[in-house]
Amino acid sequence: MKKKNCIFIIFLSFIMILSGWTGKKPEPISETHVSENEQPEHHSNLTVQVQKPVSFWRLQQEFPNIVVIRGIGNKIALTFDDGPSAKYTPQILNVLKKYNVKATFFMMGAKVSKYPYIVKRVAQEGHAIGNHTYWHPNLGKATVEQMKWEIAETEKALNKIVGIKPKLFRPPFGSLTREQTIELGKLNLTTVMWSVDSNDWKQLPAEQIKNNVLNHIHPGAVVLFHDGGHWTQDLSGTVEALELIIPKLQEDGFTFVTIPQLFHL
């Protein structure tokens, strides 16, 4: 029996030596984290050094020929971001048609490719179309080259479907750096921000969205709404609020125009 135990101990020691066991607690394996600014495959050769984003009000002061926020006169421009959406964009188009209102839709390239028939309807009904990037990244944390890729891919999608290359651009979250803003000027793009925020992306009820707009409306206002977003978002409040906002502002003597009409682009 002693001989068998001895053989077992020798065998076990031999296995432990081969496996590298030392009796000490192993060191934790460090995780490899991907930086927010690390480039996807199509940007693998690009620099990841970025500048800090700047308030779009400050950018408008510094680059008045590139960035626009508000116009003048008794005109209002309604704008819609993050679409097109199969559910909400058609409903919004129905309301706009009912009141004979033309608006501006800032579209995501990925959704343009997914819903070409809605893009065609927007164009056919006389609304303006702008570029809202392909995947909706926060450009304030991206490089100039990343931004250019997002713009170019969206332009390709829109050109394929409706034969246009938009001259209007709106960055997601209104986030841009000075370097990116300068590049947008070189690309001959007008960067369109907003002066009135409906905050409808928070899935608010129609009455609250209406108050958010009417309490801050002014001549030459650019009003921000959304016709798309995450598939779980409920934007029914936006559709219902438009039924309240549009006739009220028309009664007050305001005229609804597209962004090109408001800024004479």
| Percent of the chain predicted with pLDDT > 70 | 81
Q: Please report whether residue 117 resides in a domain.
A: yes
Considering 127, 132, 136, 226, which one is annotated as catalytic? 226
| Percent of the chain predicted with pLDDT > 90 | 80
Confidence of residue 49 (pLDDT cuts 50, 70, 90): low
Q: Please report whether residue 146 resides in a domain.
A: yes
Q: Please report whether residue 158 resides in a domain.
A: yes
Q: Please report whether residue 43 resides in a domain.
A: no
- Which pLDDT score is estimated for 55? 94
| Strand 196-197 relative to strand 190-192, pairing | unpaired
Structure tokens belonging to residue 127: 């609304």
- Known catalytic residue: 226? yes
Q: 79: domain range?
A: 67-263
- Which pLDDT score is estimated for 50? 53
Cβ neighbours of residue 190 under 8 Å, at least 6 residues apart?
66, 67, 68, 167, 168, 169, 259, 263, 265
Residue 45 has pLDDT above 80, yes or no: no
Residue 173 has pLDDT above 70, yes or no: yes
Q: What is the mean pLDDT of the chain?
A: 86
Q: Please report whether residue 71 resides in a domain.
A: yes
Structure tokens belonging to residue 116: 């070409």
- CATH number for the domain including 122? 3.20.20.370
179-236 pLDDT, tens digit each: 999 999 999 999 999 999 999 999 999 999 999 999 999 999 999 999 999 999 999 9
Q: Point out the least confidently predicted range of 1-10, 206-215, 247-256.
A: 1-10
Q: Please report whether residue 23 resides in a domain.
A: no
Q: If you average pLDDT over residues 47-71, what whole number do you get? A: 87
87-123 pLDDT, tens digit each: 999 999 999 999 999 999 999 999 999 999 999 999 9
Considering 81, 82, 200, 227, which one is annotated as catalytic? 81
pTM of the model: 0.81
- Tally Cβ neighbours within 10 Å of residue 139: 23
Structure tokens belonging to residue 39: 């480039």
**171 burial level (CB within 10 Å; 0-12, 13-18, 19+):** buried
Q: Please report whether residue 175 resides in a domain.
A: yes
Q: Please report whether residue 134 resides in a domain.
A: yes
> How many structural domains comprise the chain?
1
Q: Cβ(43)–Cβ(145) under 8 Å? A: yes
